[in-house]
Amino acid sequence: MKRDEGRGRRGPRALRTPGGLSVRLDPRALVVVVLLLLAALGAGVVLIGTGDYPIPPGDVLRTLLGNGDPGQEFIVDELRLPRVLVGLLVGASLGLGGALFQAVSRNPLGSPDVLGLGQGATAGALTVIVLFSGDADAVTVGALVGGLVTGAAIYLLAWKRGVHGYRLVLVGIGVSAMATAVNGYLMTKADFVDAARALVWMTGTLDGRDWKQVWPLLVLFCVLVPLVLANARGLRMMEMGDDVSHALGVRVERVRMLLMVCAVLLTAAATAAAGPVSFVALTAPQLARRLTRSPGPNLVPSLCMGAALLVVADWASQRLFGDGQLPVGVVTGVLGGVYLLWLLVSERRAGRI
């Protein structure tokens, strides 16, 4: 009996505020979130100090606090800090967006990579680049529009008295194939300069990112994350099935549509800022769940895992390949492809596919 009671004390707990609000707290998940945040921020500090003019981590921290010399302040604040912030925000957005799609579809393969949202956003960006020779701001708008149109198409085509898991994934795979074909067609119509520019963007890269990419992404992130977390309870209940959720007072389709819109916006904004960085949205929620060992969507751990993954991948793309630097999307694509194969084998052995 004492052993069982000890186990119960280590499990998830419900904390109640004086106003009557109940908050579910899992000590293990809290520790994982703190460690992932420290890892992401620590990797960001190391990444800021990486480059042709290396800066020790201690000097980076002093510069960020306003105590660096003028040269270090220019390098850190103007050249390297925006890139790291974009990487953290893009990774966090993809991690959270992937967790939402996997929870809504109840499928570990239900991520923006598989559903075609990245390809749809790429189609929007390529349309602006190839047909209109748009600048960076226009490409960002095009990617956002492309992602939103693709998300709306997937939702409408998958609708049949509601949106359900495998139907959503299958429709998403079909839409992804169509968007990929459109992207190939647009590339054949581009001239050499536009094709080279589009190819770099399609790989997924953080090169050349500045404060113009940071602020829109930060504002959207600060608006959407609280909205998602406010509906996390309904999302957790929806994992028990629509009928049970209805009986518990959850407006299932309203919550599902709202969270899908948030996931599409997060994914499209991340793609607009850094290009279609592959597999972060697929792997981050699964890795977070394995670390927390907690049921449910694991939204905050997935967010932190995505941020840590992308910053570490960006560091690897700059430091592990000699003098040549790879786009961060190449590194995440290689690692994510290996993970996807492992996930497919695991799902097959478990009899789920």
DSSP string, 205-249: --TT--HHHHHHHHHHHHHHHHHHHHTHHHHHHHTT-HHHHHHTT
Residue 339 in any domain: the answer is no
25's enclosing H/E stretch is strand 22-25
Pairing state of beta strands 22-25 and 13-16? antiparallel
3-class secondary-structure state, position 13: strand
pLDDT of residue 90: 95
Q: What pLDDT digit, counting tens, does each position of 35-83 carry?
A: 999 999 999 999 998 878 888 888 889 888 888 788 888 888 888 899 9
180's enclosing H/E stretch is helix 165-189
Residue 122 in any domain: the answer is yes
Residue 162 in any domain: the answer is yes
Residue 29 in any domain: the answer is no
- The Cα 26–Cα 201 span in angstroms is 40
- Nearest CA-CA partner of 163 in 262, 242, 231: 242
Residue 67 in any domain: the answer is yes
Q: Are 201 and 275 in contact (CB under 8 A)?
A: yes
Q: Which of 108-122, 164-178, 226-240, 257-271 has the highest mean pLDDT?
A: 257-271
Number of folded domains that form the chain: 1
Residue 198 in any domain: the answer is yes
Residue 62 in any domain: the answer is yes
Which tokens is 103 given?
Answer: 């929870």
Determine the structural domain holding residue 160 and report its residue range. 51-289+299-322
The upper half-sphere exposure of residue 283, i.e. CA atoms within 13 Å in the direction of its Cβ, equals: 23
Residue 73 in any domain: the answer is yes
**Buried/exposed code over 78-111 (b: 16+ C-beta within 10 A; e: otherwise):** eebbbbbbbbbbbbbbbbbbbbbbbbbbebbbbb
CATH for 177: 1.10.3470.10
Q: What pLDDT digit, counting tens, does each position of 286-342 carry?
A: 889 889 888 778 899 999 999 999 999 998 888 877 665 778 888 888 887 787 788
